[in-house]
Structure 1
Amino acid sequence: MIDLWGGCAIVCALSALGTWAARGYALRRQLVDQPGERRSHQVATPRGGGMAIVGALLVAVAWALWQWPVQRLPMAGAAAGFALVAGIGWWDDHRPLSARWRLLVHLLAAAGWSLLVWHLGGQVWMGVLAGLFAVGLVNVWNFMDGINGLAVTQAMLAAVAYAWVLPVPLSWLGWALAAACLGFLPFNFPRARIFLGDGGSGGLGFALAVLFGLGLVAGLGPWSLWLPLGTFLVDAGFTLAARMLSGQRWWEPHAQHVYQRLARRFGHAPVTLGYAVFSGIAIALFFRLQALQPRWEAVGSIVWLVVASTIWLLLRKGLRDH
């Protein structure tokens, strides 16, 4: 039998080999992102490497379906939604689709996952929250995938956090996601030789929403369950709100996130590492809060939200003034 670390090593290797193959494929098909005003990179770079993460994770899920038959329903349901979101993103990487069609598929995948979480957890609010996070995280990871290594390191850290607290065998999905991200990372950081693409970024967002939903089903403290995702949620959420309040066409591509402004001043690697440190602190708090009573868990989560929001506002103001 393959142990946890052996399984992670296989998933990591599959992801790395798949990313290498995806880069060659993207170059042959001219699937390349060009530099531009709304982009943070300076040289033409192939895209679509995130499908290697998708493929490796689906292999991991297939193995889990065989290994733990009792968990076939949540794992098969998660894999179906994950493949749907990644598939429409892969299509969009090849032949750009309208936002309407992409959103329709995202909503379909989220609705399926929402109903499954409702069924597994027995609570309507769990299903609703899981569905909202599915739609939200798919788009958040797409919005925040703009500099080298950022989206994949944030996904890897969050996956480890959830894997650490989820019961076996559900925790395998978190470890497998982290291992798949690790296999992709050397191709994307510190120098990007390939980007995730919409299929990869959307797939990561949905996979993390699955781990969030499984956390609800497993009875983890719901007040702090968002913390491993909080760094991205705060930057994406407040930037979106600011654009909407200022009357901008908020659905269009832009370079107004705090991470993008920081990257223009300090470079990609320092910002990616800085965001990783900040997420590491949030994850440490997440572990601590999971052991507290619900009211103190809620208080701790609200305090962290206030702190993170204040830091975002100060950074945004400082970067605008200089």
Structure 2
Amino acid sequence: MKVYLTLMAIAALVAYVATPAMRHLAFRVGAITAVRARDVHTTPIPRLGGVAIFLGLAVAGVVASAVPFLFPVFEAGREAWAVLGGAAIVCALGMVDDIWDLDWMAKLAGQFLAGVVVASGGVQLVTVPIGGVTIGSSYVSLIATVFVVVIAMNAVNFVDGLDGLAAGMIAIGGMAFFTYTYLLARSASPGDYSSLATIVVALLVGACLGFLPHNVHPARIFMGDSGSMVLGLMLAAAAIIVTGQIDPAVISERESIPAFIPILLPIMVLAVPLVDMTAAVIRRGLRGSSPFSPDKHHLHHLLLRRGHSHRWAVTVLYIWTAVLSFGTVSVVFLSPAGAIAFTAVGVAAAAAITFSPRLARFFSRQWRRLGHALFALQRVTPEGRHPASARHDAAPAAAHGLTGASSVPSAPEEEK
């Protein structure tokens, strides 16, 4: 576990440090998101944050290849490098699009190319961990893999419409995915916990966490297509890798229920983006426009129109992602009835906040009050009194000339 958490921290640190440099580069090359009718932001914002995300992934991936504990992963084949290669392709594609606005057909062709690179490196849908279903044809396996990768990339791209939304959702869902893949590696191969899927998800979560401080509302930089497509590809690759780690001969009877998780968990992590993308494709198809034509009817737009603030619209979608992804993983830790109850409570709470902006505002007020109270406690002097009261008591003493050891201590210098 320490190795994976260290890789996560490296990816986060690199992404965090590289993001300001990418912001400066975006201004230099003109990769700026202008204010359009469908946008929520009111001032032009630089893009290319996705390049920083990819740099975090790449640097941490190279470090992982040098860790003796993970040698079996990198010696077994070229899957790890195929995933990073596919991510590099879509990052470059997104960077070009962020600067010059490529046609949607050109972007789709680049996405298919990245999917082919990933699949050609050995990351393919070969088996489905339900009843031992096997895809007999290598061509069908290749097509299925590319299809899954392209769908995941576009799902994340569709939902990337508010500050911190895509990176936060992938980080939250990725933590649930990371927990599952690590436990699966321990169960499937006792004594050797090295797992490519766990590496991929650890790097993904770390890069998102490193980028988020620069991207939360009000955002100083957007990830752009160079980031959203990389996140979608990495998550899809991890899901495809996991499907090959379930061995029905090894898992116990209790673990046979979680055998569905390799299929369900990626869907739950991407549930909100998938719903948003499906609704957008249907909506645009009914009005006869391109599925990739932009509009202002995404889920986050609907939440804003319902009365949620920018921050709470993002928080609502965070909550749904956490409930669905961790609710799915809870099957590993809880009985089926307990997992259902846990998920049901989470869904009820998420629904209440979603459909009641007033309730969200109430929680927001309580959160601010708690923050103010904690801030006030931090400013209490060592003698147990607030600096304001200390100064109030010290004023009469100073007026009567009471100084020296008998006088009331004044507030520390930094508090004055």
User: Structure 2 length as normaliser, TM-score?
Assistant: 0.66
Matches within 5 A, 1:201-212: 201-212=228-239
Q: Tell me how far 1:79 sits from its aligned partner.
A: 0.8
Amino acid at match of 1:162: F
Provide the rounded CA distance (Å) in 2 between the counterparts of 1:44 and 1:273.
Answer: 23
Say whether 1:270 aligns with 2:312.
Answer: yes
Q: Tell me how far 1:292 sits from its aligned partner.
A: 9.6
Q: Tell me how far 1:206 sits from its aligned partner.
A: 0.8
Say whether 1:147 aligns with 2:162.
Answer: yes
**SS, match of residue 147 in structure 2:** helix
Query: In the alignment, what sits opposite 1:9?
Result: 9
Say whether 1:82 aligns with 2:87.
Answer: yes
Provide the rounded CA distance (Å) in 1 between the counterparts of 2:17 and 2:126.
Answer: 35
Q: Tell me how far 1:45 sits from its aligned partner.
A: 0.7
Query: In the alignment, what sits opposite 1:179?
Result: 206
Provide the rounded CA distance (Å) in 2 between the counterparts of 1:53 and 1:118.
Answer: 24
Q: 2:277 aligns with which of 224, 236, 259?
A: 236
Say whether 1:104 aligns with 2:109.
Answer: yes
Q: Is the 8 A contact 1:117 1:127 kept in 2?
A: no
Q: Tell me how far 1:121 sits from its aligned partner.
A: 5.3
Provide the rounded CA distance (Å) in 1 between the counterparts of 2:147 and 2:331.
Answer: 23
**SS, match of residue 194 in structure 1:** coil
Query: In the alignment, what sits opposite 2:96?
Result: 91
Can you list the C-alpha shifts for 1:27-75, whole angstroms capped at 9, x where unaligned? 2223211111121211111111121010110112222233333323221
Specify the structure having the higher radius of gyration (Cα). Answer: 2
Q: Tell me how far 1:152 sits from its aligned partner.
A: 0.5
Amino acid at match of 2:32: V
Provide the rounded CA distance (Å) in 2 between the counterparts of 1:260 and 1:27.
Answer: 27
Query: In the alignment, what sits opposite 2:264?
Result: 224
Q: How much identity, in percent, do the aligned residues show?
A: 26
Q: Is the 8 A contact 2:125 2:240 kept in 1?
A: no
Q: Is the 8 A contact 2:170 2:208 kept in 1?
A: yes
Distance 1:224 1:127, change over 3 A: farther
Query: In the alignment, what sits opposite 2:195?
Result: 169
Q: 1:281 aligns with which of 301, 308, 323?
A: 323
Provide the rounded CA distance (Å) in 2 between the counterparts of 1:50 and 1:258.
Answer: 22
**SS, match of residue 264 in structure 2:** coil
Q: Tell me how far 1:290 sits from its aligned partner.
A: 5.5
Q: 1:137 aligns with which of 152, 156, 180?
A: 152
Structure 1 residue runs without a partner (length 5+): 316-322
Q: Tell me how far 1:119 sits from its aligned partner.
A: 7.7
Provide the rounded CA distance (Å) in 2 between the counterparts of 1:181 and 1:63.
Answer: 18
Amino acid at match of 1:231: V
Query: In the alignment, what sits opposite 1:197?
Result: 224
Q: Is the 8 A contact 1:126 1:216 kept in 2?
A: no
Distance 1:184 1:282, change over 3 A: same
Amino acid at match of 2:281: L
Provide the rounded CA distance (Å) in 1 between the counterparts of 2:32 and 2:144.
Answer: 36
Q: Is the 8 A contact 1:141 1:205 kept in 2?
A: yes
Q: State the aligned residue count.
A: 302
Distance 1:129 1:215, change over 3 A: farther
**SS, match of residue 100 in structure 1:** helix
Q: Tell me how far 1:110 sits from its aligned partner.
A: 1.4
Provide the rounded CA distance (Å) in 1 between the counterparts of 2:329 and 2:141.
Answer: 21
**SS, match of residue 66 in structure 2:** helix
Provide the rounded CA distance (Å) in 2 between the counterparts of 1:244 and 1:138.
Answer: 20
Q: Tell me how far 1:88 sits from its aligned partner.
A: 0.7
Distance 1:251 1:4, change over 3 A: closer
- Tell which has more relative contact order, 1 or 2 (C-alpha 8 A, sep 6+): 1
Q: Is the 8 A contact 1:65 1:75 kept in 2?
A: no
Q: Is the 8 A contact 2:49 2:222 kept in 1?
A: yes
Provide the rounded CA distance (Å) in 1 between the counterparts of 2:21 and 2:71.
Answer: 32
Q: Is the 8 A contact 1:33 1:46 kept in 2?
A: yes
Distance 1:199 1:218, change over 3 A: same
Provide the rounded CA distance (Å) in 1 between the counterparts of 2:64 and 2:209.
Answer: 20
Distance 1:263 1:3, change over 3 A: same
Query: In the alignment, what sits opposite 2:396?
Result: none
Provide the rounded CA distance (Å) in 2 between the counterparts of 1:239 and 1:249.
Answer: 10
Matches within 5 A, 1:103-122: 103-115=108-120, 116-118=122-124
**SS, match of residue 243 in structure 2:** helix
Provide the rounded CA distance (Å) in 1 between the counterparts of 2:300 and 2:125.
Answer: 38
Can you list the C-alpha shifts for 1:252-282, whole angstroms capped at 9, x where unaligned? 1111112122134423210111111111110
Can you list the C-alpha shifts for 1:71-96, whole angstroms capped at 9, x where unaligned? 23221111111111111111111222
